Amino acid sequence: MSHARIFDISDASQLPSQPIDIFDDWLNEAAASEPNDPNAMSLASVSDEGMPNVRMVLLKDHDARGLVFYTNLESQKGDELSQAPKAALCFHWKSLHRQVRVQGLVSAVDDAEADAYFNSRGRQSRLGAWASVQSRPLASRAELEAAYAEMDAKYPGDSIPRPPHWSGRRVMPLRFEFWQDGAHRLHDRLVYSRSSEAAAWTTQRLYP
């Protein structure tokens, strides 16, 4: 996508038909201004008991199909998203005074996509994916370091297979809310929503 301009959501004449175009431009600008991890996003899921959980993860890919992150599928978030495959995301770029909220349905990325991303990671990170039994109780730091050393010995070279329990999840958006700071707290809030992936997007402004 082109990054020739940054969409100003206060100007109705600028609004594209696809919210991913605004998101793409805002993320691109954040990459140039945020000091750390412009792709960081909060990810909210729901437990079996109906209790919400939220944590920070990193966005690793995005296009019209959705927003992708990677995780241990046997972790707390992996379990919750398997049981209730829907999620909410939030990006906050303090340097730009902007926020994006997303709600959508969660699906698995295919094996080829997961393999390609896993193989792009550093060797240490790939070993860590094997060593960490994510979200499970850990007796001591030494136990984790021993598990890492075991994987380091098992895979001495750069050829490290992707663990079967480690993959990506795609959030297919049904709702985007774009927020940008305004004078006197008269912020702009713009919502794109649709009922399904095949449905057309509709837009609505909200009071700040």
User: Over the stretch 159-204, which tens digit does the pLDDT of each residue have?
Assistant: 999 999 999 999 999 999 999 998 888 999 999 999 999 999 999 9
How confident is the model at residue 69, as a pLDDT?
98
Q: Give CA–CA dist 154/55, Å, rounded.
A: 31
Mean pLDDT for the stretch of residues 101-111: 98
Task: Give me the pLDDT at residue 82, please.
Answer: 96
Q: Give the residue-averaged pLDDT of 30-34.
A: 93
Whether pLDDT at 13 is above 90 = no
Residue 1: what pLDDT? 40
The answer on pLDDT for 7 being more than 90 is no
Domains of the chain, residue spans: 14-125+164-206
Percentage of the chain beyond pLDDT 90 is 89
Selected catalytic residue, list 123, 141, 185, 205: 185
Whether 45 has a pLDDT exceeding 70, the answer reads: yes
Which pLDDT value is given to residue 5? 60
**Residue 171 burial (CB count, 10 A):** 26
Averaged pLDDT, 120-149: 96
What's the confidence (pLDDT) of residue 155? 97
pLDDT above 80 (res 149): yes
Q: Does position 2 have pLDDT exceeding 80, yes or no?
A: no
The pLDDT of residue 36 is: 92
d(CA 207, CA 54): 26
User: For 72-87, how does the pLDDT look when each residue is reduced to its tens digit (9 = 90+)?
Assistant: 999 999 999 999 999 9
CATH 2.60.40.1180 fits 14-125+164-206, yes or no: no
pLDDT mean across residues, the chain:
94
Exposed / middle / buried, residue 33 (Cβ in 10 Å: 0-12, 13-18, 19+): exposed
Is 185 assigned a catalytic role? Answer: yes
Tokens of 108: 């698995």
Range in 1-10, 51-60, 96-105, 121-130 with the lowest mean pLDDT: 1-10
* The pLDDT of residue 25: 95
